[in-house]
Amino acid sequence: MKKYFFPLLRKVFNGIITLFFLICLIFLLLRLAPGNPVHKFVSPEFSPELSEKIYNSFNLNAPLHEQFLSFLANIISLNFGISYIYRQPVFEVIMNYFPFTLMFAFIVFFIQTAGSIVLSLYSFKKKNCWQDIFFNKFSLIIYSVPTYVLAVLLILFFSVCLQIFPSAGINSFNPEENNYFRFAAEKINYLFLPVMTLSIIGTAYFYRYLRENMDMTDSAPFTLLLKSNGLSRNGILIKHILPNSVFPLISVAGIEIGMLLSGALITETIFALPGMGRLTVTSILQRDYPLVTGCAFVSGLCVILSNIAADFIKSVIDSRIAGDLIE
């Protein structure tokens, strides 16, 4: 375990530095970008004096360097301030949305990973048969479909035509009246379409990656050696080809899970889901500077952590790269 410690520590340290620069950059970009958070309050009767008072109450009238120093002082204690639109501490607002995103992201990630492995194995076993050709072509088509198109198609088919699944939301209006089983069934019912939207496309993406790796591994000299030694085809596939093919996928999966944890904006908007993607975009459009910074911090943190996790898993699988894992 010791051999992982220092590389991991170095990676964590690099992550903290990256995160620090990320939120500093976000802070500066927000202040330089056009737009004014007070404009959402402007109404015909709204006086410029009150407008200025609100602006000042957001501490936006102070010189940029003063704002930046105060921002840095707060960031050290992980205090992102009060959200302009939610009127609550940024951390509390994010905590209202992040648990859903966490659950949603892991369900999607699990389905797309498991789905792609099963499909790749099946397709590989049927190599050059019509099933293999079909999956290869079909995955390309699915991968090329924009998320919103697939979401709309799924809604039209399952929700409007068949009326099996609800088209938006995450629960009914009386979840407290449900028992646990009904509660779980209801969650599955409401999340089915959004999860499918993301995981179908994700599965196609992982499938293409994995399937290609399997072909490359299959043509590697060591596979030929194993075949010549008389090992069974299934044994080679499960014990040698699959692990070697999954290995490069781990890095891609690390990025993918990080992106999912940052929020899936289009899916969340179409299906009215209360996730980080929707929160981030709302905060950007409303010029809620503290919340934008908080969301960027969480997104950055998720991407960095998932990458560290991916590197760590890779080093555990292949101890040869433990030392330089993370270079």
Using the CB atoms, write b or e for 279-305: b if 16+ within 10 Å: bbbbbbebbbbbbbbbbbbbbbbbbbb
- Convert residues 116-155 into a mask of x (bound to other proteins by CB under 8 A) and - (unbound): ------------------------------------x--x
Q: How far is the CB of 287 from other proteins (least distance, A)?
A: 5
Q: Which stretch binds other proteins (CB under 8 A): 66-74, 131-139, 278-286, 316-324?
A: 278-286
Q: How far is the CB of 281 from other proteins (least distance, A)?
A: 10
- CB nearer to other proteins: give 73 or 285: 285
- The residues in 183-202 that bind other proteins, with binding defined as CB under 8 A, are 185-186, 188-189
Among 77, 128, 163, 229, binds other proteins (CB under 8 A): 163
Tokens found for residue 29: 């970009």
Q: Does 157 bind other proteins (CB under 8 A)?
A: no
Helix (H) or strand (E) holding 173: none
HEC states along 54-78? HHHHCCCCCCHHHHHHHHHHHHHCC
- CB nearer to other proteins: give 40 or 240: 40
- Convert residues 29-58 into a mask of x (bound to other proteins by CB under 8 A) and - (unbound): -----xxx--xxxxxxxxxx-xx-xx--x-
Residue 289 near residue 37 (C-beta atoms within 8 A): yes
Q: How far is the CB of 99 from other proteins (least distance, A)?
A: 12
Contacts of 79 (CB under 8 A, 6+ apart): 89, 91
Q: Does 248 bind other proteins (CB under 8 A)?
A: no
Q: Which stretch binds other proteins (CB under 8 A): 215-223, 233-241, 267-275, 305-313?
A: 267-275
- CB nearer to other proteins: give 183 or 247: 183
Among 105, 246, 270, 296, binds other proteins (CB under 8 A): 270
Instruction: Phi first, then psi: give them for residue 89, nearest 5 degrees.
Output: -55, 140
Residue 261 near residue 105 (C-beta atoms within 8 A): yes
Short-list 203, 246, 249, CA closest to 109: 203
Q: Does 180 bind other proteins (CB under 8 A)?
A: no
Among 103, 159, 250, 252, binds other proteins (CB under 8 A): 159
- CB nearer to other proteins: give 152 or 313: 152
CA gyration radius, the chain: 24
Binding residues with other proteins: total (CB under 8 A): 59
Q: How many CB atoms lie within 10 A of CB 83?
A: 23
- Convert residues 93-112 into a mask of x (bound to other proteins by CB under 8 A) and - (unbound): ---xx---------------
Q: How far is the CB of 34 from other proteins (least distance, A)?
A: 4
Q: Does 61 bind other proteins (CB under 8 A)?
A: no
Contacts of 150 (CB under 8 A, 6+ apart): 142, 197, 200, 201
Distance (Å, whole) CA 22 – CA 26: 6
Please report the sign of the dihedral spanned by the C-alpha atoms of residue 217, residue 219, residue 225, residue 229: positive
For the chain, give me the number of helices (H) and strands (E)?
Answer: 13, 0
- CB nearer to other proteins: give 54 or 322: 54
Alpha helices in 61-179 (DSSP H): 64-76, 90-125, 130-144, 147-154
Q: How far is the CB of 190 from other proteins (least distance, A)?
A: 9
* Site residues, other proteins (CB under 8 A): 34-36, 39-48, 50-51, 53-54, 57, 82, 85-88, 96-97, 152, 155-156, 159-160, 163-174, 177, 181-182, 185-186, 188-189, 269-272, 274, 278-279, 285-287
